[in-house]
Amino acid sequence: MNPFSHLLKAAGAHPPVGTWIMSASPLVAEATGHAGFDWAVLDMEHSPVDMMEVVQMLQALSATKMVPVVRVAWNDPAAIMKALDLGAYAIIVPLVNTAEEAAQAVAACRYPPVGMRSNGPVRAVHYGGADYVGKANDEIVVMAMIETKEGLANLEAICATKGLDAVYIGPADLSFALGLPPRGDNPDPLHIATCDKILATAHKAGIKCVMHCAGAAFASGAVKRGFDMVMLTSDLSCMIAGARQQLDDAGKAYGPVELGAMIEVPAAALCVESFLRHFDFVSIGTNDLIQYALAIDRADESVSHLYDPWHPAVLQLIARTIAAANRAGRGVAVCGEMAGDPLFTDLLLGMGLRSFSMHPTRIASIKQRVLRADTRRLAQVLPQVLEAEDCAAACADLMQVGSLTR
């Protein structure tokens, strides 16, 4: 008997708990299979998992007690049939909007005369036995995801689709459908009520309802509300949680990944305040910024002599970006040739820059200038440089009188 079909039919007071596998790694899948979950979904929609990796992970999971299910990327009969031939016990189809789409998914999972599945169970026949084809129509489980406005509007008709075994709630996309910010364990009353409506409609139609959860507390609540099966966390989330627990135990501080943006065109520099509302840091790419600010292609020999990092417009764009980032409390760095050119080090320090990105061979000379610089005095003379007609000469004159260094 299909072990997943058995899990689904036996779901009662203690709903089976599954997990999500996204790593595209047979080794990780096998390890997850020994963790104690009842079932797992190999996700082909929002992960890099392809069909070859699906078969490798199915093989790895065959040595464990965890039952594998495949979520295909789309309601594509060819993909569904191939996943089944490779050994999936059940199929989850995302973004099902109508009863017709649900019927198409069911047909792809059933052999004629009730469906359209082609006969070629390459691997499935090895675990399913010689009579696999004769039993598959009764035992392969088909689940339709309810996660769109159209799917909600057609909920009763979808649940009444002949041959459909269960509906699966995709909470993040369902949040979109309800006009709410996308999140997994959504506590919004509207989201909770909608999920309960899906559950009631599925049970009224005589099919099961599965709830996708991100955390144990939400999963426990879903069980109490009557959901037949719950999905809990993922392999990647488990790895991150495990690593963070080790760091906690070691007393090592860590934090979320920061998101930054490159400032390489004048438009971005002029609107940098808007960027800073969405990013943790910015990095100024001086090579491209100079080219776009001056409409100069430095690879074009006919105009490359006009490429000028000392141009007042360029310096003002850089100064403006650094100042805005510092006011907003965001990190700011400069990369490109200017960052590794000692002629610009004092000027950039005066603008408030504290992070330079350069070729390793330039670090020693730039470090010496940074160590000798008096950043307070640099900031005081900065306006004179930016307002000068010849910024390079003004900067050189100021350095000659010792105004910019200790």
User: 384 Cβ partners below 8 Å, 6+ apart?
Assistant: 394, 398
DSSP-derived pairing of the beta strands 331-335 and 281-285: parallel
List of residues 6+ apart from 319 with CB closer than 8 A = 351, 382, 386
pLDDT at 400 over 60: no
Q: How confident is the model at residue 401 (pLDDT cuts 50, 70, 90)?
A: very low
Catalytic (active site) residue 305 = no
Mean pLDDT of 11-34: 91
Helix, coil or strand: residue 333:
strand
In a shared domain, residues 40 and 123: yes
Q: Does a structural domain hold residue 404?
A: no
Query: Do 266 and 122 fall within a single domain?
Result: no
* Cβ neighbours of residue 126 closer than 8 Å, sequence gap 6 or more: 87
The answer for residues whose C-beta is within 8 angstroms of residue 8's C-beta and 6 or more apart is 16, 90, 141, 165, 166, 208, 228, 229
Which residue among 14, 34, 46, 203 is the active-site one?
46
Q: Three-state SS for 288? A: helix
Last residue of a domain, one of 211, 226, 250: 250
pLDDT in tens, 188-219: 999 999 999 999 999 999 999 999 999 899 99
Are 239 and 314 part of one and the same domain? Answer: no
Residue 82 lies in a domain: yes
For the stretch 83-113, pLDDT in tens is 999 999 999 999 999 999 999 999 999 999 9
H-run or E-run covering 169: strand 166-169
Same domain for 185 and 320, yes or no, is no
Scanning the structure block, which residue is given the tokens 């050119």? 341
In this structure, are 211 and 114 located in the same domain?
Answer: yes
Compute the distance between CA of residue 262 and CA of residue 266 in angstroms, rounded to an integer: 12
Is 117 within a domain? yes
Residue 28 included in any domain? yes
Domain tally, the chain: 2
Q: What is the pLDDT of residue 403?
A: 42
**Res. 354 pLDDT band, cuts 50 70 90:** very high
Mean pLDDT of the chain: 93
240 and 307 in a common domain: no
Domain boundary among 218, 250, 282: 250
Question: Are residues 215 and 302 both part of a single domain?
Answer: no
- The percentage of the chain sitting over the pLDDT mark of 90, rounded to a whole number, equals 83
Indicate the residue among 194, 226, 250 that finishes a domain: 250
What phi and psi values does residue 143 have, to the nearest 5 degrees?
Answer: -125, 135
- Let me know whether 60 and 29 are in one domain: yes
Query: Phi and psi of 173, rounded to 5°?
Result: -65, -30
Phi, psi of 262 (to 5 degrees): -85, 135
What CA–CA distances, in Å, run from 145 to 7, 18, 101, 166? 19, 16, 11, 9
pLDDT in tens, 263-278: 999 999 999 999 899 9
Assess if residue 269 is contained within a domain.
yes
What CATH number is associated with residue 34? 3.20.20.60
Q: What's the confidence (pLDDT) of residue 104?
A: 98
Q: Are residues 137 and 218 in the same domain?
A: yes
| Residue 253 binned pLDDT confidence (cut-offs 50, 70, 90) | confident
Query: Same domain, yes or no, for 176 and 280?
Result: no
CB 82 within 8 A of CB 51: yes
Q: Both 92 and 171 in a single domain?
A: yes
pLDDT at residue 406 is higher than 50: no
Q: Report residue 402's pLDDT band, with 50, 70 and 90 as the boundaries.
A: very low
Confirm whether 399 is domain-assigned.
no
Same domain, 206 and 350: no
Residue 397 lies in a domain: no
Tell me which of 299 and 246 has the higher pLDDT.
246
pLDDT of residue 1: 66
pTM of the model: 0.66
Residue 63 CB neighbours (<10 A): 10
Specify the pLDDT at position 364: 94
Q: What is the DSSP string of 189-212?
A: HHHHHHHHHHHHHHHHTT-EEEEE
Q: What pLDDT band is residue 404 in, cutting at 50, 70 and 90? A: very low
Please tell me what DSSP assigns to residue 405: B
Q: Residue 405 falls within a domain, yes or no?
A: no
Residue 48 structural domain = 3-250
